[in-house]
Amino acid sequence: MTSKCWVGFNLAPPIGLYRLKNYLEKNELKCDILDFDIDSEQSYLQRVSEGDYDVIGMSVTHLNMKDDLDTLLRFRDAARRSAKKCIFIAGGHEATLNYKQWLESGMVDIIFLGFAEDALSAFCVKLSFNETNGNHLEIAHEIAGVVFYKSDGKLVYKSSPRLTSEKFRQLSFNNIKSAIPYDKYWQKVRDDKIDGFNHTEFIVETVRLYTSSHCPRKCGFCSSQSFLPESQKSVAPILMLSAEDVYELVLYHIDKYGARGFLFSDDDFPVGNREGIVRILNFSKLIVNAKNSGRIPKEVKFFCQSRIADFLDQKNVRWNVIEAMKNAGFDNTGLGIETFSDKLLKSPFINKIGVTTNDYRIVLDALLEKGIIPIIFLIVGIPDGTVEEQIETMYVAMEYIRKGADVSVLARLRANPGSPVYSLGGYDISTTTWKNPYTGTEIVINDYFIPKNEELSRIVGMIQETTESVINNIKIQRGWDKNIVPKSLVGIATFIATAKLLHRDAAANDFTRTINDILDEKIH
Ligand code: SF4
């Protein structure tokens, strides 16, 4: 099952879970996916209580740990009502990087580490043959890529085997080509979305693809870099599908599902090294040829995340990459900008190595000049930032929104297990607690870093709630009744909320004017 934290936020099939399901089914293991966006929890609780499942798993998140634990508790209660012994498992980034807490909660029996297809498949096959008379921990003992507590309380950690190029290709290429109910998701998106705010065109028939293994950069707040190396306890080289493989996946999804948009969910689609840059150039060429020959419709678009450094070669703009992407149909790209303060770029929380805010401006302007919309990812409340740095960052972002960029804003800097700053110490962290009602065990969950600056520290816990009320007011004023609000609008609403809470009324008014100008089509 998915985590409920994604409900209404990112309405798309959970690709990681479908990849797992496809893999298990190839090994003749039956598997269902409960996605809270489109399925009813109640009907699955009923099935669990009737003994339909042997293994129940969740792709857990840190962001929503408390709620995920509550959900697992409801499923454990349902399992208790059945005659069957159910095993509860967890996987994904958070489970791999914070396995101790999940196991200590008593809600999870075994954690599957890293790319878990082989480990889970082997576990389920052994379980289905009842090889150890139902003692699942004995089965887990024989498998690489798992963590669990033995009955004597000792922790067993068995790291995953090193992910090879062949295995990565098998999982991310061969194994992706199977049934995913895109129609169901696309219909829900059509019903729930509000049009006409982001500069970026919204394509309902969008498919998400992962084409590389991980990002190896060292940004302070980000745990993406740690998932694969931690799971295999070794340095992990970046693995990627070839340009030809990515192209074939695109053709497959157009032919089979009628996809018209592709979102490459890789942390950094151009990868940043020479091989990655060559790949994006070759992929773009294949797409241009396919569009020219009529093999794929001209209107097919691509979206990806990238880094500022991908578009610079020793401080010179890589115009060939930008032009190739634009010609292929990359109309936008997400960029982890985080802040427009040079001081904060070097802070241990951000640590964007080798780039300056001047580089940011050069690349953002170059992308806009060639018609690629930058989606600027920013963080509000960076723990060693000042109010002035915060206001400055929001104003520069507004400048780029008026030039045609979009924004996506995090309202606080999360304390993500596995990120370099997580173990740094010296900063206060806001926490929440969760209590196991059966054992009384209390779990203290690290939530977000509290800024050192007094004013920012006072407001950071209130930004999210205030943003929601700003959005609700806009919805009322505009007569909207849909649930999916464009991310850029949420981003500017976060700026308005921050400025209001800081009593910067002039800034709040300036940001409100930008929202109204966009909605009234006075700009763009
Ligand atoms: S923030 Fe982006 S570039 Fe930095 S480590 Fe994470 S995924 Fe990589």
Report ipTM for this prediction: 0.99
Question: Mean per-residue pLDDT for 305-323?
Answer: 95
The pLDDT tens digits for 128-143 are 877 656 678 888 888 9
pLDDT of residue 128: 85
Q: Which domains does the chain have, with CATH numbers?
A: 4-158 (3.40.50.280), 165-413+453-519 (3.80.30.20)
pLDDT at 344: 98
Strands in 301-306's sheet, in edge-to-edge order, are 206-209, 261-264, 301-306, 330-338, 373-379, 406-410
Residue 320 is predicted with a pLDDT of 97
Calpha distance 301→327 (Å, rounded): 10
Tell me what the mean pLDDT of segment 191-208 comes to. Answer: 75
Which ligand 1 atom sits nearest the alpha carbon of residue 218? 5
CA of 267 to the centre of ligand 1 (A): 6
**111 forms bridges with which residues in the sheet?**
90, 147
Report residue 326's pLDDT band, with 50, 70 and 90 as the boundaries: very high
Q: What is the pLDDT of residues 351-378, one digit of tens each?
A: 998 999 999 999 999 999 999 999 999 9
C-beta 267 within 6 A of ligand 1? yes
Ligand 1 atom closest to the CA of 225, numbered from 1: 5
Cα–ligand 1 centroid distance for 112 (angstroms): 23
Ligand 1 near 250 CB (within 6 A)? no
Q: How much is the mean pLDDT over the chain?
A: 92
Q: How far is CA 148 from the centre of its chain?
A: 26
Give, for ligand 1, the residue of 267, 310, 333, 344 to mutate: max count of ligand atoms closer than 8 Å to Cβ.
Answer: 267
Q: Is the CB of 307 under 6 A from ligand 1?
A: yes
Residue 327 CB contacts under 8 Å (≥ 6 apart), including other chains: 284, 288
Rounded CA separation 61/486 (Å): 23
- Is the Cβ atom of 225 under 6 angstroms away from ligand 1? yes
pLDDT value for 519: 84
Longest dimension (CA), the chain: 70
Is ligand 1 within 6 A of the CB of residue 418? no
Nearest C-alpha to atom 4 of ligand 1 is from which residue? 219
CA of 489 to the centre of ligand 1 (A): 24
Q: Is the pLDDT of residue 37 over 90?
A: no
CA of 356 to the centre of ligand 1 (A): 16
What is the per-residue pLDDT for 5?
Answer: 65
Please write the tens of the pLDDT for every residue from 63-95: 999 999 999 999 999 999 998 889 999 999 999
For residue 1, give the amino acid letter. M
Q: Strand 406-410 and strand 429-435: pairing?
A: unpaired
Are 19 and 40 contacting, i.e. CB atoms less than 8 angstroms apart? no
Residue of 210, 224, 339, 353 to test ligand 1 pocket, by largest number of atoms within 8 Å of CB: 224
What's the pLDDT tens digit per position in 150-195?
988 999 999 999 999 999 999 999 888 777 889 888 888 887 766 6
For the chain, what is the radius of gyration of the CA atoms?
Answer: 23
Question: Which range has the worst mean pLDDT, 173-182, 234-243, 329-338?
Answer: 173-182
Distance from the alpha carbon of residue 219 to the mean position of ligand 1, in angstroms: 6
pLDDT digits (tens, 9 = 90+) for 93-122: 999 999 999 999 999 999 999 999 999 999
CB of 224 sitting under 6 A from ligand 1: yes
pLDDT of residue 270: 94
Which long-range contacts (C-beta less than 8 Å, at least 24 apart) are formed by 496-501? 496/467, 496/470, 497/411, 497/462, 497/463, 497/466, 497/467, 497/469, 497/470, 498/380, 498/381, 498/390, 498/394, 498/411, 498/459, 498/463, 499/391, 499/394, 500/466, 500/470, 501/459, 501/462, 501/463, 501/466
Q: Whose CA is nearest to atom 7 of ligand 1?
A: 267
pLDDT value of position 201: 72
Contacts 24+ apart (CB under 8 A), 366-370: 366/311, 366/317, 366/319, 366/322, 367/311, 367/322, 367/333, 368/400, 368/403, 368/404, 368/405, 370/319, 370/322, 370/323, 370/326
Q: What is the model's pLDDT at position 521? A: 74
Res 523: pLDDT: 53
Cβ of residue 222 lying under 6 Å from some atom of ligand 1: yes
Work out the average pLDDT over 398-409: 95
- β-bridge partners, 56: 88
Mean pLDDT of 252-281: 94
Token pair in block for residue 404: 């045609």
- Quote the tokens at residue 67: 């709620």
The pLDDT-based confidence of 9 (bands split at 50, 70, 90) is low
